[in-house]
């Protein structure tokens, strides 16, 4: 088993961060925990802006030295994305490995990625992050051959260029493989669209309970379907997109998709690399924004998710809010519906029926209620409506079978000749 690293969390609180700073430091510790790193101490500093040379002020660097010795820390984790030079300066002055928030998130994604597509996406993001930081790696500047002065410098630069070209070639090859998978995903999306089934997409901050909500819907409406998704109380438990078919008691069917969770300061390399996965959301007819209602900062987290959704261009898709873990705040709120907000407990499977009723009011607007008289010779149509529509009442008459049915507009138009009212 890998030995856990010991770390010091480091953060700079600038004016624009305000109240969110405290939460982002708390979240940094959660990210470190997800990467199996123990945070032994924390150091923060209030500054008008981050120091462009070494991130924190000179005085704080002097304060850090005894703290590193006292905690026997192996790594320093900064709460922001650092420039290559900031990392190099901190490592030289403190003689300790330095990670930034982006590197930490990329490491977690690399560890959790299960499908080939997710693995490629993470690898591309890691290489793109590494590319401008090559200059900071001492081993990349290793002198080749003897000599002195310019001869040495030239050899080092050549080595750096070779490294850079190797990474660029690698990114290009990975992107080519990724493109093939993206095309496959597009084909699958087209087929889903062609099926005419509405698509409902779960989004939300990481660990809000999206996978638990998906499993609650599968268990409630498809109990025999052994297609539950992985769920665990930790940041970024799942990275892979899951698609499940949900069949309701009235034979209405929709596709439910679950995507990667969002996080504050989600590295732009990752957003770019995961764009094809996030585009699943852009194809949805309805978005369910799952919120951890028990988190005192849930409004901030909602804002982060909404900003990420704006970045991928899904502003015109209707959104309903599922306030999960409501039982931890107020048991009386569970299963309540207030406009486009549903309070539920996905873990306790409470409020799921109410959630589905709200979903139905958005995605099944094109259903028509009518009566049809179907001749006995067209018995296959009776089977079809029993399977694909909500048959409210069946009556047998001289000329055929009379159905009171709620069906899709497309079926209503197609079988118009049998409609009696």
Which pTM value belongs to this model? 0.76
In whole angstroms, give the CA distance from residue 183 to residue 256: 21
**For position 274, what pLDDT does the model report?**
67
Q: Which residues, in sequence order, are CB contacts of 259 under 8 Å at separation 6+?
A: 201, 202, 203, 241, 277, 278, 280, 281
pLDDT in tens, 235-278: 565 556 778 889 898 888 898 988 777 777 777 677 766 666 67
Confidence of residue 136 (pLDDT cuts 50, 70, 90): very low
pLDDT in tens, 201-231: 999 888 888 889 999 999 998 876 666 665 5
pLDDT in tens, 344-387: 999 999 999 999 999 999 998 888 889 999 999 998 999 999 88
Query: Which tops the pLDDT comparison, 275 or 120?
Result: 120
Sequence-ordered alpha helix ranges (H) in 200-296: 210-221, 268-273, 275-282
**For position 23, what pLDDT does the model report?**
84
Confidence of residue 116 (pLDDT cuts 50, 70, 90): confident
Phi, psi of 391 (to 5 degrees): -85, 110
Upper half-sphere CA count for residue 23 (Cβ side, 13 Å): 15
Give 233's DSSP letter.
Answer: S
Whether the per-residue pLDDT at 138 is higher than 60: the answer is no
**Mean pLDDT for the stretch of residues 192-201:** 79
Confidence of residue 153 (pLDDT cuts 50, 70, 90): very low
**For position 415, what pLDDT does the model report?**
92
Whether the per-residue pLDDT at 142 is higher than 70: the answer is no
Confidence of residue 293 (pLDDT cuts 50, 70, 90): very high
Residue-averaged pLDDT of the chain: 83
**For position 370, what pLDDT does the model report?**
92
Whether the per-residue pLDDT at 122 is higher than 60: the answer is yes
**For position 150, what pLDDT does the model report?**
39
**For position 137, what pLDDT does the model report?**
47
% of the chain surpassing 90 pLDDT? 35
Nearest alpha carbon to residue 28 among 108, 84, 125: 108
**For position 258, what pLDDT does the model report?**
85
Where b means 16+ CB within 10 Å and e means fewer, 383-415 reads eebeeebbbeeeeeeeebbbbebbbbeebbeeb
């Amino acid at each position: 088993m890998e030995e856990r690293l010991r770390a010091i969390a480091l953060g700079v609180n600038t004016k624009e961060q305000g109240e969110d700073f405290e939460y982002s430091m708390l979240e940094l510790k959660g990210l470190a925990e997800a990467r199996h790193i123990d945070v032994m101490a924390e150091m923060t500093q209030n500054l008008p802006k981050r120091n462009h040379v070494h991130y924190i002020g000179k005085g704080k660097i002097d304060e850090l030295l005894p703290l590193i010795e006292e905690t026997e820390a192996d790594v320093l984790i900064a709460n922001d994305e650092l420039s290559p030079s900031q990392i190099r300066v901190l490592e030289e002055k403190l003689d300790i490995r330095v990670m930034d928030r982006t590197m930490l998130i990329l490491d977690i994604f690399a560890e959790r990625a299960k499908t080939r597509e997710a693995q490629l996406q993470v690898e591309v993001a890691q290489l793109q992050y590494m590319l401008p930081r090559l200059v900071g790696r001492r081993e990349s500047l290793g002198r080749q051959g003897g000599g002195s002065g310019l001869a040495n410098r030239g050899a080092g630069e050549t080595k750096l260029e070779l490294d850079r070209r190797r990474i660029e070639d690698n990114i290009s090859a990975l992107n080519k493989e990724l493109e093939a998978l993206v095309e496959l995903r597009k084909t699958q999306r087209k087929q889903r669209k062609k099926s005419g089934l509405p698509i409902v997409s779960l989004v939300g901050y990481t660990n809000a309970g999206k996978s638990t909500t998906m499993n609650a819907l599968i268990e409630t409406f498809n109990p025999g379907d052994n297609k539950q998704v992985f769920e665990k109380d930790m940041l970024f438990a799942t990275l892979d997109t899951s698609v499940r078919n949900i069949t309701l008691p009235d034979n209405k069917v929709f596709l439910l998709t679950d995507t990667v969770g969002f996080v504050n300061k989600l590295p732009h390399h990752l957003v770019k690399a995961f764009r094809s996965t996030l585009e699943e959301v852009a194809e949805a007819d309805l978005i369910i924004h799952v919120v951890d209602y028990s988190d005192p900062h849930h409004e901030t987290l909602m804002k982060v998710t909404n900003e990420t959704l704006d970045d991928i261009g899904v502003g015109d898709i209707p959104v309903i809010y599922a306030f999960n873990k409501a039982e931890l705040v107020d048991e009386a709120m569970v299963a309540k519906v207030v406009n486009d907000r549903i309070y539920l407990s996905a873990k306790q499977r409470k409020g799921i029926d109410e959630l589905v009723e709200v979903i139905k009011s958005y995605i099944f607007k094109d259903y028509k209620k009518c009566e049809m008289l179907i001749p006995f010779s067209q018995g296959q149509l009776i089977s079809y409506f029993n399977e694909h529509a909500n048959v409210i009442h069946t009556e047998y008459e001289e000329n055929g079978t009379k159905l009171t049915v709620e069906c899709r507009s497309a079926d209503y138009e197609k079988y118009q000749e049998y409609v009696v009212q």
